[in-house]
Amino acid sequence: MKTTHFMRQCVKSLIFGFGLFAFALGANATTVADPAIANVTATPGSTTLGATTSYELTFTTTEAIAVGGSLTIQASTQNCPDGNWESCNFDFSNASVSGLNGSIDQHSDNMIGFLNAEEITAGEHTITVANVQNPNTLSVYRFYLSSPSSDHEDLSNDDYLATKSNPVVLGDALAYGTITDPDSNPLQLYGEVHDQQYQLYQGFNSDEWGYYAVANPGFTAGGQVEMNVMPAQNSGLFNTSASFTYAGSAVLKDVTVQAASKTVSGTIKYDDNSAVTNAGVNANAKGSWASANVDSNGAFSMMMVGGEYEVCLGDKYDENGQRQARDWYADQGQQCQFVSFQNDTSAESKTINFVVHRADALITGVFKNPDGSYPENGGWVSVWNDQMWFGGDVDSQTGQVNIAVMGGNSQNISATSLHVRSISSTSYKVDYSPRSSDEHTYWNQDKITVNANQTLNLGTVTLAERDVVYTITVKDENNHGVEDIDVNAWQEKGGWNNVRTDENGQAQLYLYAGTWNIQPSLGNSTSYLYAGKPETVTVASGDTGSLSFNLTTTTLTVGVKTLTEDGAVASVRGWVNCWSQGSNYGFGGNVQNGIGSFGAVGGNYNCNLWVDDQNYQASGESQVTFVDGQNTELIFTLLARTANIHVYVKDADNNLVSDGSARVFANSSEGGGRSEGRLENGESNIAVAPGKYDVGVWFENKTSYVTSMSFGEPLELADGEDKTKTLTVYAVTATFTATLKDSEGNPVPNAWVGCGNWPEMEGKPMGDFDKGKIIESGSESGGDGMAVVGLVKGHEYECWVGVNSDFSDLIGPGSQQIDLTKKDSASAEFVFQKADSKIKGTVSFAKSVDRPDSDIQRVFCNGWADEGYNSWDDGFGQEYSLNTLQGTWHVWCGTDILNDDGTRDFYETEGDTLVNIKKSGTYTQDIKLKKSMFQIPESFTETFDSTQPKTIILDDGQFELNIPANAIPAGETSNNITVTIEPELNAMKTATYSPWGFPRNIEVYDSDGSLVSGNFNSSVTLTLYYSQDILNSSDITEDAVLPKYWDEDQGAWKDADSVSQKTITDEDTEGSVTFTLQHFSQVGLVYNNKLLTQNAKPGKARKLSAKKITVNTARLTWKKPFSSTVTKYKVQLRPYQIKQTNKWDKFNKVKKQPKRKVKRKIVEDLTTGTRYQFRVKVCNRSMCSAFTKWKAFTTKTE
């Protein structure tokens, strides 16, 4: 009988030990008190884990236990945190019992059977159980006593008959306490503690009486602890959060779980209205969250407590916790919606529905480790581009992956969709990442292309090992290692990895060959900030290395709140960034549901907000002062997007551009946000807040079209206003490939390669584009140091390379001339040098400028040396810094200032600023700015009734347009038409005619918003005015002036109709030309090149070079200017930097050499090993150009 009772208890013990752990995951087991035993109290001799100690047990028997009875004593936990139950077991193998007469007749891991030698009377008793070894894992433990007289037969197999003791916490806990529902009933559930960044984390379970204890994952005294507890689904209770401060010892923290009274329900459907069955939703608010999966009808429902929630689409997980592959995607900005409930216990319901797009192709493959085995823990494959993301699990048993993706075009794409793909295929990047941090395999592809309705089989993919190991160290300002800091590593084209520092502030980061950016990631940390740049490393297979990052301890916390214009909190998400004057790096934090916080240090900062929201945009930056030790709040007032810009993008042949890689953008010229839209059939709508905007378009595919910016004054929109903008872009018909290396032959990534047809513009004042169209294009170099720049064939370009001095210690080489006049591709190599000195200074206005220096908010500075190097800096504030080497450097700075009236002024360096770098070090050179002569005319837009005559006179007084009634068709909606007039900076030049000043690009849109093309119902009349000063400034005579319009179809300037000219006289200093047009185009005054070629001032010589240099001779070469008649050249030669002209050699009658494309002058009798400079002037029969800049060379030594 005694043995049978003990064995029954052992069976129950197994159920108890394992079944109740399962209960924490959803099973249902309970402990039933033994009616013969009450009031069990356990007092440990030691709570140290693993210690051998004794326990004093006090209990009350409600009836006598006869001699020979078997009193069962058990100790265990209902929660073994790491799941290793052996570590949660007591060891009773050497236990002894005193206080009652009897002996131990049975032993088990957590249990002993005590055989009493005399009757145990009813009443209170105390016994001591000695030589007990404590478990090795922190948890809540209890002792359980049961007697043989109680009836066990009617118990469920899931129940256990025993009377529990008080809870005993073994180990040094972070916190302990009870978890109850609103009616004080205990709850058995899962919870977790963490810091605000989730860098410290520990899970726990409460037992069936609601008691819990949680281990300390690394908090120190004073640390802020966040706690989340999560009731079972369908319990009517809701995830609840609490917070407390860790005082250095275990904290008693009781938690009352909130009752859910709010409901969010809805559906997720494809755009054909069929149900999505493989998605989930997640709702997040401050202090609470909820989630739900969709059912077979695409429906979901979840309960929560009051608050403001961001409800987002997410993945669906199966019962084994595996993420299900998606076959859908959502448009940008449609991933999340916001919902708000009252913060009370009243019942409320809200409905949120999502519409997604269906994928139409499949990617399959099998992934294997380098040794041919399958990934032990499986993996995840991401398939993505800038518009969409898909992914799928790699099966650990078969290596198989199946990922549904978007292949080709879709009939369901609307005009407002931000996702426009190519007609029949889509390109993606692909990355593999292992499930386990102990595995260091990888695989990626920069580009795979999937067609519509295709199953793309990747075949068997053999993973590679990350065989580059970098030791990362993160320290504070006292040089102490900082624990639990995430450090991210990424490549520009997709590679990524992440590690977290240990207690010494170190981590091993595994990479593979290539160029990587590495930087600490602090999220919304209120403890530390990192305001430095990412470190860029280029590594080869098998390399090892180390990097150290220094953090700054914060001295205050900044709260963030975003408000609508009526003062309500705006439920948006975004990012706040703060930076100091003169720095390109800053710090900040996320904004979720309109609120956020981050740590900072005292100082003066500019702070701005970026928001990802279709209804609101940021209103601009704020200048703030943070004071150490004083927490503060930043409040950003958002602007509602109540206006719209309708953008047309045309090519040079006046055809609308349909390019899926185009991004049309509108930048607030008043310091606010940036809005973007995708181009569809040559059009895009961009919702913006009222204000002024610069509109442009850029192309992700840099080999399709050259990026275009709108020029002139910003486009201004009022509340509810809709305006139209037309951009002209030039198709890429030629490419330039640049290879960038440092002096040791390593590739230079993240450098900018810029090209422009500036050689065609030489000899013209800044902004005077009357000699042709301006083409500027550029591209950033990748990890291989290569960059491809899209250009237009038929032109000669100057291409330069450089890196921002804030980001690199390299110096760019000199520019190179690229001839694409007759070919469609070219290439060149650029070699960077390492800087050994710097030029620094302050930028301010010259005395001639009547405005405060504080108006200078951002400067761009460029330095170039006579030796051929270049350096640049682009930053906020009035400070600049340029990397340099020994030599003579020219420094130029400029700034663009938006005036209160919406106009812009450009200021640039006054005179030629020279700095002579003789040795390594830091040189100071302050810069004074003067106002530039470059002033762009204003843009103009007006909507009016086409049935009435209309006269438009622009503010500059040089343009008058008269439109008769009913001359232009108005469309079907109303009689209104909209005329836009833009200064045309990209005006075309031909062999015979060149525009001068700024021609105007005139467009008209009917009442339906469509561009009016073709001839009008009747002619319109245009009058263009000019003055003698304007003619003189461009060296143009009045008899060469003609009115023309640009014919896109024939690529020529065509004569206007009914031309009359009023010439300048002594009495009237203004002339004009009046003419009529049947349609709108680029219109303006042009001049006849052939009439002016003998009289106009020639341009400067180009491409100076010294060749075939010997010890005492050199061949000086150059090219003639564009579109200039030349009769002779003047050449001056001097020893380097010698300013006494009597020591110069002057050659004033160098022949024009008409049969030579490259002109030359051979100079002799030079000194061995000596540095010289030369320059060239171009002359015709009437006048000469200015001299070129000096070009340096050095003769050879013996």
The string of pLDDT tens digits covering residues 470-491 is 999 999 999 999 988 999 998 8
**CATH architecture, domain 1102-1194:** Sandwich (2.60)
CB 491 within 8 A of CB 783: yes
> How much is the pLDDT for 5?
40
DSSP class of 223: -
Mean pLDDT of the chain: 81
- The CA dihedral of 523, 524, 525, 530, to the nearest 10 degrees, is 50
Q: Which residues contact 842 (CB under 8 A, 6 or more apart)?
A: 878, 879, 926, 927
Q: Please tell me the CATH code under which domain 556-636 is placed.
A: 2.60.40.10
If you average pLDDT over residues 599-603, what whole number do you get? 90
Fold held by 940-1092: Chondroitinase Ac; Chain A, domain 3 (2.60.220)
> How much is the pLDDT for 870?
79
> How much is the pLDDT for 10?
41
807 pLDDT tier (thresholds 50, 70, 90): low
Q: Which residues contact 904 (CB under 8 A, 6 or more apart)?
A: 669, 713, 714, 896, 897, 898, 936
Judged against a pLDDT cut of 50, whether residue 418 lies above it is answered with: no
pLDDT digits (tens, 9 = 90+) for 1026-1047: 777 666 655 566 666 665 555 5
Q: Please tell me the CATH code under which domain 2-171 is placed.
A: 2.60.40
> How much is the pLDDT for 351?
94
> How much is the pLDDT for 258?
82
Distance, in Å, from the CA atom of 205 to the CA atom of 227, rounded to the nearest integer, reads: 12
Judged against a pLDDT cut of 80, whether residue 1191 lies above it is answered with: yes
Q: Where are the domain boundaries for CATH 2.60.40.10 in the chain?
A: 556-636, 1102-1194
> How much is the pLDDT for 277?
93
Nearest to residue 886, comparing CAs of 837, 852, 839?
837
Q: Of 208 and 757, which is predicted with more confidence?
A: 208
1181 pLDDT tier (thresholds 50, 70, 90): low
Nearest to residue 469, comparing CAs of 369, 542, 518, 521?
542
129 pLDDT tier (thresholds 50, 70, 90): very high
Share of the chain above pLDDT 90, in %: 28
> How much is the pLDDT for 806?
63
> How much is the pLDDT for 627?
94
pLDDT digits (tens, 9 = 90+) for 628-645: 999 999 999 898 999 999
Judged against a pLDDT cut of 90, whether residue 702 lies above it is answered with: no
> How much is the pLDDT for 992?
40
Looking at mean pLDDT, say which of 749-763, 850-864, 1091-1105 comes out highest: 850-864
Judged against a pLDDT cut of 50, whether residue 771 lies above it is answered with: no
- 403 Cα distance to chain centroid: 26
1194 pLDDT tier (thresholds 50, 70, 90): very high
Looking at mean pLDDT, say which of 319-323, 788-792, 1041-1045 comes out highest: 788-792
The region of weakest confidence among 202-211, 422-431, 1179-1188 is 422-431
Q: Which residues contact 661 (CB under 8 A, 6 or more apart)?
A: 699, 700, 701, 704
Judged against a pLDDT cut of 60, whether residue 1090 lies above it is answered with: no
**CATH architecture, domain 360-465:** Sandwich (2.60)
> How much is the pLDDT for 1049?
46
If you average pLDDT over residues 887-891, what whole number do you get? 87
* Tokens, residue 948: 């009435």
pLDDT digits (tens, 9 = 90+) for 488-546: 998 876 788 889 898 899 999 999 998 898 999 887 677 898 877 788 888 999 999 99
CATH class of this structure's domain 176-256: mainly beta
- 678 Cα distance to chain centroid: 18
pLDDT digits (tens, 9 = 90+) for 226-241: 898 988 766 778 778 8
pLDDT digits (tens, 9 = 90+) for 134-174: 999 999 999 999 987 655 555 555 677 899 999 999 999 99
The region of weakest confidence among 13-17, 83-87, 797-801, 1088-1092 is 13-17
CATH superfamily label, 732-834: Carboxypeptidase-like, regulatory domain (2.60.40.1120)
> How much is the pLDDT for 507?
94
Distance, in Å, from the CA atom of 165 to the CA atom of 40, rounded to the nearest integer, reads: 5
> How much is the pLDDT for 544?
95
Amino acid found at 653? D
Judged against a pLDDT cut of 80, whether residue 421 lies above it is answered with: no
SS3 assignment, position 988: coil
* Count of beta carbons in the 10 Å neighbourhood of residue 640: 17
Output the 3-class SS for 1029-1093.
HHHHHCCCCHHHEEEEEEECCCCEEEECEEEEEECCCCCCCEEEEEEEECCCCEEEEEEEHHHHC
> How much is the pLDDT for 1015?
81
> How much is the pLDDT for 672?
60
pLDDT digits (tens, 9 = 90+) for 1141-1158: 888 999 988 887 766 767
Fold held by 837-931: Immunoglobulin-like (2.60.40)
710 pLDDT tier (thresholds 50, 70, 90): low
**CATH architecture, domain 262-356:** Sandwich (2.60)
* Tokens, residue 1013: 């093309």
993 pLDDT tier (thresholds 50, 70, 90): very low
If you average pLDDT over residues 1100-1123, what whole number do you get? 86
> In whole angstroms, how far apart are CA 531 and each of 54, 478, 618, 634?
55, 17, 23, 19
Fold held by 468-553: Immunoglobulin-like (2.60.40)
In which order are the strands placed within the sheet that holds 37-44?
37-44, 52-61, 123-133, 96-98
Judged against a pLDDT cut of 50, whether residue 936 lies above it is answered with: yes
The region of weakest confidence among 18-32, 595-609, 1113-1127 is 18-32
> How much is the pLDDT for 348?
92
Q: Where are the domain boundaries for CATH 2.60.40.1120 in the chain?
A: 176-256, 262-356, 360-465, 468-553, 732-834
Which pTM does this prediction carry?
A: 0.55
Looking at mean pLDDT, say which of 111-125, 640-654, 899-913, 1113-1127 comes out highest: 111-125
CB 1082 within 8 A of CB 987: yes
Helix %, strand %, coil % for the chain, to 5?
5, 50, 45
Q: Where are the domain boundaries for CATH 2.60.220 in the chain?
A: 940-1092
CATH class of this structure's domain 643-649+664-713+722-729: mainly beta
